Amino acid sequence: MPGKLKAKIVAGRHLPVMDRASDLTDAFVEVKFGNTTFKTDVFPKSLNPQWNSEWFKFEVDDEDLQDEPLQITVLDHDTYSANDAIGKVYIDIDPLLYSEAASVISGWFPIYDTIHGIRGEINVLVKVELFNDLNRFRQSSCGVKFFCTTSIPKGYRAAIVHGFVEELVVNEDPEYQWIDRIRTPRASNEARQRLIFLMSGELQRKIGLKVLEMGGNAVVGYLQCFDLEGESGLVVRAIGTACTLEKLSSGSSTHTHPNTAPASNACNSPSKDGKEPVFGEDLPSSSGPPTPFRALPTSSSSPPPFSPSKPCSRQSSSSDTDLSLTPKTGMGSGSMGKDAGPLKTLLRQQTQTALEQRGASSSGLLLNAREFPFFTLTSFPSGFLLHVGGVVSARSVKLLDRIHNPALGNTRSYKLLDWNSVTADEPETRDAWWEEIRQEIKSHAKALGCHAVVGYSENTNICEEVCILSASGTAAILNPRYMREGCLDIAGSDHRFEDPSPSSCGFCHIPYDELNMPFPAQLTYCFHCRRQKVPDVLFTTIDLPSDAAIAGKGCFIQARLCRLKKKAQGEVNATAISNLLPFMEYELHTQLMNKLKLRSMNALFGLSIQISVGENMLLGLASATGVYLTALPAPGGIQIAGKTPGDLNNEQHIMNIQKRINDTIAKNKELYEVNPPKLFALDPEVFCGTNVELTEEVVGSPIPEPRHRSRLFRSHSESSDELSELDLSHGKKDAFVLEVDDTDAVEDIHSLLTDAPPPKGFHSCNTETMPGIYNWTSALQMFTSVRVLRLSNANLTNQALNKIFTDLCENLLKSFYFKLRSMVPCCLSHLNFSVAVPEEELIQVAVTAVAMTFDKDQTQEKPAEKPIMKGCSEGEEQLQFPLELCADSSSVNSQSSSRISGVPESSSLSTRAASVDYGSFADRCSTWLELLRLKAHTIRRGSVKTSRRTQSLAHSVSSLEHSSPITEGRSRLLRSSRSFGGSSVSVVKMTPLSFLPGTRIVKYLGIINMFFIRETTSLREEGGVSGFLHSFVAEVFAMVRAHVAALGGNAVVSYSMKDCVLMENPNKNQCQCLINVSGDAVIYIRETDLEAIASTVGLSSTNSDGAT
């Protein structure tokens, strides 16, 4: 018995009236965990019962502790008939399982019922006593911390970043079981909620196991999703980045000034050294480092060219590349997809031999991490990210049919009530699907000369039986130095390991070889250091690196697209969809590019492209934050060209459009304060919009220095004389040409110009931080907005549909600005749009974002975190070494990729991928069904375990668990002040960002991952769909807040609403909605309070010491 769970039911309040006669309620409570149930006494005739129960004790396996939620059911006692359920509370006890987080769950929880919503509140106390039975770590993964935050959490440093972890769990959807026909919808929804709680618990435990096997102690950037596949089941899947996190000593965590950070780093280093052997121990010295990147052989010192075949095949498939100068993946995937099959087998061979070489003691996880060097993180410590190649993405259309899941179809009858049992074959199928996608992503990254994918995410879109799996990320080269040191210091400003290229522009430098570019792009020398080449535009899925040099402010850019599709069934439908996809991606991309140029910007961050399928249409929505990177060339304008030059009338028209475009560009330049520094001008006026420090550096020594350096470091490439060829005449750059040849094109251009800029005082972005704004004030308002549009006209054209969709998105933004107008100057950050086609002729857009105020007066100043060019001015001998290293790693990758790409060339016809890749679906659909079955024996990753490893891990984990006394004291202080606060509800802030401006997060209390279903049979009475959803969303917020408060927290960071599935039937007066939310519960302290608390903490800790 490794754990004892204790629960106490204290009281209830605001209960609903259950007995009409007396207007009162005879309430009692059932407390259930696993298969054990306890009951409180009935507290008769009260709406505010005081049960004050004994401690109910559950003795359970820690495995169950992770999987199961504590279920609390409040009922009304009825002597003659069955007891009426008032509602339920599910409490995830995972946060109690690692000692660093919460020690007790205590507070008022809303009592939730799927039909009536929140019905009063119940006060509960929950504690867990864990017995230190280290041998039990095999099945459970207690102690692994989970973070939704996609950066290294505040107050921690990453000792090692292990890499990608993924897992999925499949089950039958209770709603689609035969029993659903006889039970009430309420019972069905209850079952669904319970099942999903169980499944996500199980999933988290399994991911935790993988992390432990890899040697990590935490998952950062944890992203869990549900796929409601209907008849074919319910999939819960998750991805994340496994890390070994170390808590920074609280002294430095409260004041992480850049100056003090290196000091704390130094303090930590002895312990780091001490731990090194622990990890080294179970790895043969020959195999080298535990991280995937260290395993790369380092042989050649100059970047070898790509195999010539590679770029060729890419080019031929990428019809868009003439226009889109950035890595665009959807198009590439046509050819890549064809290669996927053999590619994978090859990879498998490769990894298998690697495994053999390493010998038996090396765990299979190294292989796993090596197989997918993906990172779900979107922001990194400075210096970690060396180069960024561009966005890589892959999509695949799948048919969800019971035929393809034979296991489910057959076992249906006897699996009915056993929701816990997982069909053995099913996850395999899904795993195989995802593996294909990931392989594709990986090969795209390789084509870009990158060895890693950062800002990685996966999602699905399901319509009836068609499912689109998508994955995207940003191909990148990471600093091997960091990987080998195993040191990913979040405050890392250690200049000894500075990359040769300054961090303000280094990530822009192309990772691929310029002679063999994977796609045509115009390369120029970096406008910053002028030593390496940069592309003319850069698209990424990550956040803007904190030290990137930018001009002006960023802005939210969105491309929207609708495409009509014929209604179809099964494979015909899948074919139609997969045929449409590449066109959609292409158009979205063109739109993005045009809009970017229209704003006179040259880079996109946080790009996410969502494609949603409906019965008769496809929706595409691409959102990103545009910014002007000063390292990249200034964007050229947009030029309009007519197809018929002779026509005077037309000419005039085109001239008009051209003028409007030019005006818009000029206006936008002003609006977003895009005033790139003119490198060789000495006019100080030009620099007003940018970092003065930076420009002065450049101005101070304009030419000789860079030239000097480039000779030093770029001896292997062409002569550095090219400097003189630098195009300094911005604006006259090759303009982007748009051809106006038909009315559609005119429409497109018009729609380009209709995007209204945000009103004065407003800014918007979809990234964590708004480029160009640094001085946030503390006011914030998180919101969720959902809008559904019914298309009344059945005979809509693509153009009309586009217009409607664009207006829908634009109007939503307008609404936000209007509603939040009292907050100006303010920025809408992390604008997260998600589109869906819930029914034919319905378009649903859901948005979650946060509005944050900032101080207008200081927007021009970036707080001087550190001099950006500092790295360059340091000893040059030191810089030589890292350059070699990074050249090594990239060369190795390009070499291996060339090897891989070489083989499929010869054997591309022999095997075919099982996925339905667009472009090649039609010729494949006949065979892929069969191949699916072949795929069934995919290697189950993470199945190799070594006991020795886990044991040593247990030690390291437990040693990490000692949290510093000061934070303990502080949290105690917080808690006590909370409890003295009386009955008033404590304020819980919520934000989709990983930070709260003006505050410091002092403690992470655990992950919040909740799933709710709400239904109604009296839709009209509840105010229609809007009224219904409004109260449901408010209820979800309330339940999240209550759980956070019960953990002792006062905020949720990295909050996101992952699903909002609404099904309505107004004719029957019915509606149902599912919402899935997640985030990290934290305790924050206002920065202004820090001083005061620091002194009182000293007192309180001595007091408590005296008491004990």
d(CA 738, CA 580): 22
Does 793 help bind other proteins (rule: CB under 8 A)? yes
Nearer CB in complex with other proteins: 477/988: 988
Cα 693 to chain centroid, rounded: 33
Token pair for 489: 């210091």
Binding-residue pattern over the window 836 to 875 for other proteins, x denoting contact by CB under 8 A: ------x-x-------------------------------
d(CA 980, CA 473): 47
Binding-residue pattern over the window 1031 to 1070 for other proteins, x denoting contact by CB under 8 A: x-xxx-xx--xx-------------------x--------
DSSP letter (8 states) at residue 1031: H
C-alpha distances in Å from residue 634, one per residue of 43, 510, 536, 690 = 73, 17, 8, 15
Does 114 help bind other proteins (rule: CB under 8 A)? no
d(CA 997, CA 852): 8
Least distance from C-beta 327 to other proteins, angstroms? 36
Nearer CB in complex with other proteins: 81/792: 792
b or e along 604-628 (b: 16 or more beta carbons within 10 Å of the residue's beta carbon)?
A: bbbbbbbbbbbbbbbbbbbbbbbbb
Least distance from C-beta 560 to other proteins, angstroms? 16
Name the phi and psi angles at 754, rounded to 5: -85, -15
Does 353 help bind other proteins (rule: CB under 8 A)? no
For the chain, what's the residue count? 1108
Which residue among 137, 197, 586, 817 contacts other proteins (CB under 8 A)? Answer: 817
Number of residues located near other proteins, criterion CB under 8 A: 58
Nearer CB in complex with other proteins: 283/996: 996
Token pair for 728: 């300094």
Least distance from C-beta 483 to other proteins, angstroms? 39
Q: DSSP assignment of 149-209, as one string?
A: -SSPPTTEEEEEEEEEEEEEEEE--GGGSGGGGTS-HHHHHHHHHHHHHHHHHHHHHHHHH
Does 833 help bind other proteins (rule: CB under 8 A)? no
Which residue among 984, 1067, 1095, 1108 contacts other proteins (CB under 8 A)? Answer: 984
Strand order in the sheet with 617-629: 538-539, 603-613, 617-629, 550-564
Least distance from C-beta 839 to other proteins, angstroms? 10
Least distance from C-beta 878 to other proteins, angstroms? 48
Residues sharing a CB contact under 8 Å with residue 842, sequence separation 6 or more, in sequence order: 614, 788, 789, 790, 791
Helices (H), 824-942: 870-873, 876-907, 925-934
11-50 residues in contact with other proteins (CB under 8 A) are: 13-14
Least distance from C-beta 5 to other proteins, angstroms? 24
Q: In this chain, which stretch among 22-30, 263-271, 470-478, 786-794 interacts with other proteins, using CB under 8 A?
A: 786-794
Binding-residue pattern over the window 732 to 771 for other proteins, x denoting contact by CB under 8 A: ------------------------x--x--x---------
Q: In this chain, which stretch among 34-42, 200-208, 363-371, 783-791 interacts with other proteins, using CB under 8 A?
A: 783-791
Least distance from C-beta 1061 to other proteins, angstroms? 13
Nearer CB in complex with other proteins: 108/456: 108
Cα 203 to chain centroid, rounded: 18
Nearer CB in complex with other proteins: 47/187: 47
d(CA 1038, CA 141): 30
Q: In this chain, which stretch among 280-288, 303-311, 495-503, 1018-1026 interacts with other proteins, using CB under 8 A?
A: 1018-1026
Q: In this chain, which stretch among 367-375, 933-941, 1030-1038, 1076-1084 interacts with other proteins, using CB under 8 A?
A: 1030-1038
**Strand runs (DSSP E) across 499-592, as ranges?**
524-525, 533-534, 538-539, 550-564
Which residue among 28, 51, 56, 108 contacts other proteins (CB under 8 A)? Answer: 108
Q: In this chain, which stretch among 312-320, 541-549, 829-837, 1019-1027 interacts with other proteins, using CB under 8 A?
A: 1019-1027
Least distance from C-beta 124 to other proteins, angstroms? 14
Does 987 help bind other proteins (rule: CB under 8 A)? yes
Question: Cβ of 320: how many Cβ atoms within 10 Å?
Answer: 20
Least distance from C-beta 1069 to other proteins, angstroms? 15
Rounded to the nearest 10 degrees, the angle between the axes of helix 704-713 and helix 876-907 is: 50
Does 789 help bind other proteins (rule: CB under 8 A)? yes
Q: Which long-range contacts (CB under 8 A, 24 or more apart) does 1060-1067 make?
A: 1060/786, 1060/834, 1060/844, 1060/846, 1061/228, 1061/836, 1061/838, 1062/786, 1062/788, 1062/838, 1062/844, 1062/1025, 1062/1029, 1063/838, 1064/1019, 1064/1025, 1066/1019, 1066/1024, 1066/1025
Fill in the amino acid letter for 402.
Answer: R
d(CA 145, CA 167): 16
Least distance from C-beta 146 to other proteins, angstroms? 22
Q: Secondary structure of 731-776 in the HEC alphabet?
A: CCCCCEEEEECCHHHHHHHHHHHHCCCCCCCEEECCCCCCCCCCCE
Binding-residue pattern over the window 657 to 676 for other proteins, x denoting contact by CB under 8 A: --------------------
Does 475 help bind other proteins (rule: CB under 8 A)? no
Which residue among 22, 1026, 1088, 1103 contacts other proteins (CB under 8 A)? Answer: 1026
Give just the sign of the alpha carbon dihedral 158, 163, 169, 175: positive
Does 989 help bind other proteins (rule: CB under 8 A)? yes
Nearer CB in complex with other proteins: 471/993: 993
Which residue among 110, 221, 455, 871 contacts other proteins (CB under 8 A)? Answer: 110
Does 272 help bind other proteins (rule: CB under 8 A)? no
With tokens 């200081």, the residue in question is 858
Nearer CB in complex with other proteins: 702/757: 757
Nearer CB in complex with other proteins: 786/914: 786
Task: Let me know: does 167 contact 238? Beta carbons within 8 Å.
Answer: yes
**Which residue ranges make up the site for other proteins (CB under 8 A)?**
13-14, 108, 110, 118, 121, 756, 759, 762, 781-793, 804, 811, 814-822, 842, 844, 983-985, 987-990, 1023-1027, 1029-1031, 1033-1035, 1037-1038, 1041-1042, 1062
